[in-house]
Amino acid sequence: MNKYNKFLTDLFREHSNVLVAHDLIEKLVTQFEVTDNYARQLISRAVKEKIIKSSEPFSFEKRQYFYMNEKRSIDVKALLDISKKYRKPLYRLLTLLSRTGGICSYYEAVKITATPMTNKEKYRVISLEDDIKRLNDHKIIKKVEDKETGIPFLVLLQDQMDIEDSSVLRQKIKAHLANMKRDVMFINDIIRWLVNHGFISDKVSYRRKDNPNLGAIRNDFPFDATTISKTTGFNINTGKIVEEHTIVVMEILIYRTYEKIDLEAFFERIQSIRHSTKQESARKVMPIIFYLDVDESVRREINNLHILNFSLKSIMGSNIVRVIEKYRDMKKIIDDAFILDEEASSSVIEKIGESLTVIEESGQTENLQNLKGDLFETLMYTVLSNLFKEAHLEHSKIIKSIDDPKKSYEFDVIVRDNNEDEIVIIELKGLKNSTIINLGDTSTPNSIRWFFGKTYPTAKEYYAKNSEFDKSKIKGCYITSANFSQEGLTKLDELNKSNKIKPSLLDCYYDRKKLLDLLRNHINLKSLRNKTGFVEILEKYYLVESK
């Protein structure tokens, strides 16, 4: 072995040692007084002779390769060691995967690497897709698409095992989807709080519950929510001239602790949109972070950067943690049960009752209207599981439009009732009992025509194509704790009499009073009424008219 190779062998004898190309060249030049070009040749020969190993095809700082001990594998640990200093976006992605049980959605990957989603050619960044391809080729991660939702995920391949289409992968995806939905479950409540306190306008683009893989894009970059603010501060000209609005971008993380990697990625995206146009000064941006938990050192850094930040506990009360824990537990009971029997139903109903009590006692009912609506949907899913005996029910199912696959809709409950030989598509709306739901049109979300004229037909087409049921056997039902307008009731009565949409065991609509009558009297719910207090819970928190 010549002196150069011996030097390189000794240099990388410690497996954890890694050096970028220019640092290794500098060491060779200093040690042997050779030129930079000759040092490059020495490195190239050493790689060919398997004295040291190159990180190719992974390049890092200024697109340079790294070098390491020949026996070291280019695995997650090696890439973390290298990228921590020289490729922060890749380091953040791999760290995120290690924090989340080896799985993250593509949306989270785009956020954590601060990758633009549109006009990518404008930005001098290493392509996330190129990184994913290289990681996939080395069997470090795999990009997979969930067959039910169409949401793409990145999965860390533990022990170099390809787990695509396996039950292990399906469980990972299912669990992570639940985490993603936990992140978005408070977005509407957070937006309402910000609007009520004058921080932002009420025209907000945000990551939605029905598609948690799609955030709001602001100047090519993804955020959990974005809008504008007129709260720009007072100065001598306030009220005399028209001031430019401030861009507001939000980061909302509930299901895990907010960490340094999250802050770094958020800050990079903020800087990118501040300088995304050719103007003399950077754009005014108001960043806001919402979290359930945060590392103390990260919170100090957030404050040093003068970024507005709020703990969910500070705006919704300290009891919100208990509510989230109960919500997670009841969702797990439902997800784990193929058929929700009376015992499991009793556990879910008990936790819902406890959650609603905590919300009421903490004085946060107004701040948590969206969560209260979610609890109504969960309670009604549990009740419907008992009403439709031996039927198979699905909840929160996302279905793509056959005519436009880019559009998808979330359906609250879908019942496969083999006893009646039909599928029932059920829309649930847990709204204030003083709310009026209008007839509307197919462009007005939550209206009667939105469901019966737009989303229900989407599900009907899907099941007519993907099940043994004829279109005439696919029915619909709109259930709410609120009230329908008189015009809406007239239309709903027409639909109910036609029997084209009306299910065998239900009418095609239930408002506050009609729903209460159904719950008190339906024969299939007699046993559940005797064993639980579900009727009393619905009466107290949803169905009895406020005084």
Length of the chain, please?
Answer: 547
Residue 52 within any structural domain of the chain: yes
CATH of the domain at 342: 3.40.1350.10
What CATH number does residue 42 fall under?
Answer: 1.10.10.10
The strand pair at 221-223 and 216-218 is best described as: antiparallel
Average pLDDT value for residue range 460-487: 93
Q: Domain total for the chain?
A: 4
The secondary structure element, H or E, covering residue 397 is: strand 392-400
Q: 118 with 204, same domain? A: no
171 shares its domain with 188: no
pLDDT of the residue at 160: 45
pLDDT in the model for residue 79: 87
Assess whether 194 and 328 both reside in one domain: no
Q: Give the pLDDT score at 509.
A: 98
SS3 assignment, position 218: strand
51: left (phi over 0), alpha (psi -120 to 50) or beta: alpha
Is residue 176 domain-shared with residue 188, that is, in the same domain?
no
Instruction: Find the domain containing 88 and state its range.
Output: 84-180
Each residue of 495-532: pLDDT tens digit?
A: 999 889 999 999 999 999 999 999 999 999 999 999 99
CA angle 508, 511, 512 (to 5 degrees): 150
Report residue 101 as tokens: 């049980």
Secondary structure element (H or E) that encloses residue 128, with its range: helix 128-137
Alpha-carbon 51 to chain mean position: 46
Band of residue 241 on the pLDDT scale cut at 50, 70, 90: very low
* List of residues 6+ apart from 211 with CB closer than 8 A: 151, 398, 408, 410
- Are residues 499 and 512 both part of a single domain? yes
Percent of the chain at pLDDT > 70 equals 93
- In degrees rounded to 5, what are phi and psi of residue 353? -60, -45
Structure tokens at 472: 């005439």
Q: Which pLDDT value is given to residue 1?
A: 81
Is the pLDDT reported for residue 366 higher than 90?
no
pLDDT, position 280: 47
Mean pLDDT of 303-312: 96
pLDDT of residue 546: 56
Q: Do residues 312 and 341 both lie within one domain?
A: no
Q: Does 164 lie in the same domain as 251? A: no
Distance CA 426, CA 188 (A): 22
What's the mean pLDDT in 326-338?
A: 85
Phi, psi of 433 (to 5 degrees): -70, -5
Does some domain include residue 78? Answer: no
Domain containing residue 196: CATH number: 3.40.1350
- According to the model, what pLDDT value does residue 385 have? 95
Residues 67 and 194 in one domain: no
**pLDDT tens profile 255-300:** 999 999 999 999 999 998 887 665 545 678 999 999 999 999 999 9
What are 99-116's pLDDT values in tens digits?
Answer: 999 999 999 999 999 999
Let me know if residue 262 belongs to a domain: no
One domain for residues 312 and 198: yes
Q: What is the CATH number of the domain that holds 144?
A: 3.90.1150.220
Looking at the fold, whether 113 and 223 belong to one and the same domain comes out as no
| Signed CA dihedral, 296, 302, 306, 307: sign only | negative
Which pair of structure tokens corresponds to residue 422?
A: 């039909």
HEC secondary structure over 73-90: CCCHHHHHHHHHHHCHHH
**Confidence check: pLDDT of 238 > 70:** no
What's the average model confidence in pLDDT over 447-468? 93
Whether 263 maps to a domain, the answer reads no
One domain, residues 460 and 526 = yes
Give this prediction's pTM.
0.83
In percent, the amount of the chain with pLDDT more than 90 equals 58
What whole-number distance in Å separates Cα of residue 52 and Cα of residue 43? 8
Name the average pLDDT for the chain.
89
Per 3-state DSSP, the chain is made up of helix, strand and coil in percentages (nearest 5) of 50, 20, 35
The answer on pLDDT for 165 being more than 80 is: no
Judgement on whether residues 378 and 504 belong to the same structural domain of the protein: yes
